[in-house]
Each structure stands twice: as structure tokens, then as C-alpha cells.
Structure 1
Amino acid sequence: MTSMSFTDAARLCLTSKYATFSGRARRAEYWWFSLVYVIATGVVLGLGFATETPLLGVLLLPFIVPMLSVSVRRLHDTGRPGWRMLIALVPIAGPIIYLVGMTVDGTPTANRYGPSPKAVDTLAA
């Protein structure tokens, strides 16, 4: 099994799987891209405060679609539908339930969303 790095996750989510809502995503892909998203948000917000230009937040728009798509694929990896991410909208408990769900290991075998990404990586190696 090959491990996914920070740059691998960023490249994959921002290029070939930019708006791919089908299939499955490993935990590493989701969490590394989440880190990319948080860093980009921090940089843009920091620049916005430093230059007193609130419109710099528009620079984050290209990151919304890949963040949603990798979240849906991560839920698929655990056997849950993408609509399950709406649980995060429930006050207080929703975000906690959502984050716990994202930390759970995916199903080790194929599920209705496709083959296990770990198994595919093992076969490709």
C-alpha cells in the first residue's frame, strides 16, 4: 500500500478529481486536502486583514468544489452516502458527528461506491 503525501492529495484533488463526486477517497487524501484548505484559508484571510481587502475571500471559491467532492468520496469510502455530510449543519452535535465519521477507516472490501482505494493502491504497486 502506498501512502499519500500532502502534495499528492493537493494535486489529486485540485486536478484530476476536482469535481469527482463518485468513487472513494482514503483518509489520507481527505485529511491532507483538508490541511491544504485550512492553509489556503489562513493565507487568504491573513492577506485580507493585512491589506484591509475583504474581497480576497473570493480566492477561496476554487477550493470549495474539491473540498466538497473529497468529502463525499470520503463518506463513500465508509459506506455512507454523500448527503450524510449535511449532518454537520445540526448545531453543536452535527460537526462532531461529521468529524468522527471522517476518521473512521473505510470498508476494506468493495462497497456500492466502488473498490477499496487501499486495495487499488496495493494492486497498482
Structure 2
Amino acid sequence: MDFKQLYLSIDGRIGRSTFWLKFALPIIIISIILNIIAGVMAGTDPNNPNPAGFAIVGIWNLLLIYPSICVYAKRWHDRDKSAWWILIGLIPFIGAIWTLIECGFLKGTDGSNRFGEDPVPTA
């Protein structure tokens, strides 16, 4: 699956390995680095912090909205569920745990489903 299909399209399915290796882990690593940079840029003076670093983190988070929707939609599709299940993430605490378990740890449906072919065919 190419970059455009993975991050900019809601169609299709992706497996857990694609989700973790091409989406979740890179985003986690980049976010940690950006937060460290933001903290360093903020300085040590609590009365006069530099907001530029936090603006960078905010822009990064805004840029992630659409690609995140696309990737999570494909993971929900792999579980043979509608992309509307993304909305469960809006429920505090429970939604995040549910999404992590369903999209991050549970295997997708074997074979074809209503959203396409199995992204990780078994031999």
C-alpha cells in the first residue's frame, strides 16, 4: 500500500503490523521528539515561557487529524466494522482503551469482508 492510499484514503483494510509500523510508532516517536523540543524552547522561566514550541506541537496535532481518521478507518474495516466506530474514541478513557484493543491488538477478519481483501493473506 502506497503513502497516498494509506494516509489519505478511507477505502480498504490494513493489518496490525502496518498500523503499528507505518503509523502508530512513527507518530509516537515524532510526537515525543516534538514535545521535548517544545519543552526546551519554552525555557525555564515560568513567568515568561516561549510558546513557539507548543505551537509546533499544536500544528503537528492538527496535521495528524485526517491521516489518523484514514488509518483508523482501515483498521476498523479490517475488523469488519464501519469507520463510524472511530467515534467511540470520543468517550473519555473507555473509548481510548476500546480503540487500542480493537485496532492495535485484535486480529482482523480472515479472508475477504465487505471492505475488501485480507491485507495479510495466510498461506
The TM-score, its normalising length taken from structure 1, stands at 0.77
**Cα–Cα, structure 1 residues 108 and 87, in superposed 2: closer, same or farther, change >3 Å?**
same
**Contact 1:25 1:77 survives alignment (8 Å):** yes
How far did 1:114 drift?
Answer: 0.3
How far did 1:39 drift?
Answer: 1.0
- The higher radius of gyration belongs to 2
Matched with 1:5 is none
Matched with 2:24 is 34
**Cα–Cα, structure 1 residues 93 and 18, in superposed 2: closer, same or farther, change >3 Å?**
closer
Aligned residues: 110
Cα-to-partner distance string for 1:63-98 (whole Å, 9 max, x where unaligned)? 332222111101100101111021121123221111
Question: Which 5+ residue runs of structure 1 have no aligned equivalent?
Answer: 1-8
How many angstroms apart in 1 are the aligned matches of 2:92 and 2:60?
28
**Contact 1:24 1:74 survives alignment (8 Å):** yes
How many angstroms apart in 1 are the aligned matches of 2:60 and 2:98?
29
* Off by >4 Å, runs of 4+ in structure 1: none
How many angstroms apart in 1 are the aligned matches of 2:89 and 2:60?
24
Identity of aligned residues (%): 26
Question: Which 5+ residue runs of structure 2 have no aligned equivalent?
Answer: 43-51
RMSD: 2.1
